[in-house]
């Protein structure tokens, strides 16, 4: 009898332990589901704040266009916005003038290399201590023909021998990240280039009011004092091509072929939003044509 009572007690304890174990497991699973739902909510809210920041950037650009026909670094759009409280979270960001940068798609237009911009890109590469043959590699990636540019170029014959094999794009770049597929462009080279280059869907001049010195030196001839432009524009931004020609006739003459401008049509909105434990960074390329609402060309999360 005592043995039977002992077995019953042990059985009861095992049942209790099993019930407690099951209850703990179910509670843990429920807690995990609740956390997942909370994370999803936080991320959704952060993404909504990021999209709202993109719309704010479009408002800023539209307002700027209604006030001025030039773009420079003293304008409101050029001031980064630190994190601001919004709907229970935080959001901030900045607008970057993409015409302050060298447009890689200027190298080739209508499928044919554009020699003046190829030379400019080589000057930029030289400043960054990167191999000049990278210019030929990018021209071959963009142009319509299958003729290899020497030295450093590559067409389908070279790319098909890679692992995995691929073909030259023979089209304009949609994003600077596409350089990772181009022969010779190492991650280190791309990181060195990234602050000075962009990929825009049409030929674009460089905005003399916003471009960094490296880009100005690339656009202008090597014997031109591009550095003189920086203090001049800081004290009084250039208002027109004629204004540039009046104040710096030698530079205006060296630039030639409409390679410099005083206004911009392409801007990158870079935002960072936080909600709860979620952090979402987004980028959007905006095109502004006149005083109207800027067009969203692409949008991506980072």
Residue 84: what pLDDT? 86
Give the domain extent around 286. Answer: 2-99+265-301
Q: Domain count of the chain? A: 1
- What is the DSSP code string of the chain? -HHHHHHHHHHHHHHHHHHHHHHHHHHHHHHHHHHHHHHHHHHHHHHHHHHHHHHHHHHHHHHHHHH-S---TTSGGGS-EEEEEETTEEEEEEEEEGGGSEEGGGGEETTEE-HHHHHHHHHHHHHTT--TTHHHHHHHHHSSS-PPPTTT---HHHHTTSSS------S--SSGGGGGGSTT--HHHHHHHGGGEE--SS---EETTT--HHHHHHHS-TTS-GGGHHHHHHHS---SHHHHHHH-HHHHHHH-TT-EES--SEEEEEEEEEETTEEEEEEEEEE--TTSPPEEEEEEE-
Across 115-140, average pLDDT: 96
Of the listed ranges 61-75, 106-120, 125-139, 251-265, the least confidently predicted one is: 251-265
% residues pLDDT > 70 (the chain): 88
**What pLDDT, in 10s, does the model give residues 18-73?**
676 676 666 666 666 766 777 788 888 988 998 999 999 999 999 999 988 999 99
pLDDT at 301: 83
The reply to whether 161 falls in a domain is no
119 or 15: whose pLDDT is higher? Answer: 119
Mean pLDDT on 89-109: 96
Question: Quick check: is 136 in a domain?
Answer: no
- List of residues 6+ apart from 131 with CB closer than 8 A: 125, 152, 184, 189
Q: Given pLDDT bands bounded at 50, 70 and 90, which one contains residue 262?
A: very high
pLDDT at 34: 66
CATH of the domain at 12: 3.30.1300.30
Is residue 75 a part of any domain in this protein?
Answer: yes
- Look at residue 252 and tell me whether its pLDDT is greater than 90: no
pLDDT at residue 292 in the model: 80
Q: Count of residues for the chain?
A: 302
- Note whether residue 294 is domain-resident: yes
Per-residue pLDDT tens for 134-152? 999 999 999 999 999 889 9
In this predicted structure, the answer to whether residue 10 has a pLDDT above a threshold of 70 is yes
Q: Is residue 222, in this structure, part of any structural domain at all? A: no
Residue 36 lies in a domain: yes
Residue 257 in domain: no
Residue 175, pLDDT score: 95
d(Cα 107, Cα 138) in Å, to the nearest integer?
8
186 assigned to some structural domain: no
Q: What does the pLDDT average to over 253-271?
A: 90
Report the predicted TM-score, pTM, of the whole model to 2 decimal places: 0.86
């Amino acid at each position: 009898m005592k043995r039977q009572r002992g077995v019953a007690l042990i059985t009861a304890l095992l049942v209790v332990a099993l019930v407690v174990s099951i209850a703990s497991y179910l509670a843990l699973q429920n807690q995990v589901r609740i956390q997942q739902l909370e994370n999803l909510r936080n991320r959704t809210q952060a993404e909504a704040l990021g999209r709202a920041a993109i719309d704010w950037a479009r408002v800023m650009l539209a307002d700027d266009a209604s006030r001025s026909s030039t773009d420079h670094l003293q304008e409101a759009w050029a001031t980064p916005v630190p994190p601001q409280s919004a709907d229970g979270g935080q959001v901030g960001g900045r607008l970057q003038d993409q015409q302050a940068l060298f447009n890689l798609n200027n190298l080739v237009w209508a499928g044919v290399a554009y020699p003046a911009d190829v030379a400019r890109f080589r000057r930029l590469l030289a400043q960054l201590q990167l191999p000049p043959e990278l210019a030929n590699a990018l021209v071959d990636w963009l142009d319509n023909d299958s003729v290899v540019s020497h030295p450093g170029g590559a067409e389908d014959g070279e790319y098909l021998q890679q692992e995995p094999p691929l073909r030259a794009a023979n089209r304009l770049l949609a994003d600077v990240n596409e350089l990772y597929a181009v022969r010779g462009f190492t991650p280190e080279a791309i990181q060195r280039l990234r602050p000075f280059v962009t990929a825009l869907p049409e030929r674009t001049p460089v905005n003399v009011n916003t471009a960094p010195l490296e880009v100005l030196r690339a656009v202008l001839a090597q014997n031109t004092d591009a550095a003189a432009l920086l203090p001049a524009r800081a004290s009084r931004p250039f208002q027109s091509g004629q204004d540039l020609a009046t104040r710096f006739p030698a530079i205006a003459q060296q630039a030639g072929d409409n390679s410099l401008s005083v206004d911009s049509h392409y801007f990158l909105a870079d935002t960072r939003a936080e909600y709860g434990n979620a952090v979402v960074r987004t980028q959007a390329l905006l095109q502004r044509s006149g005083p109207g609402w800027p067009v969203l060309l692409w949008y991506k999360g980072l």
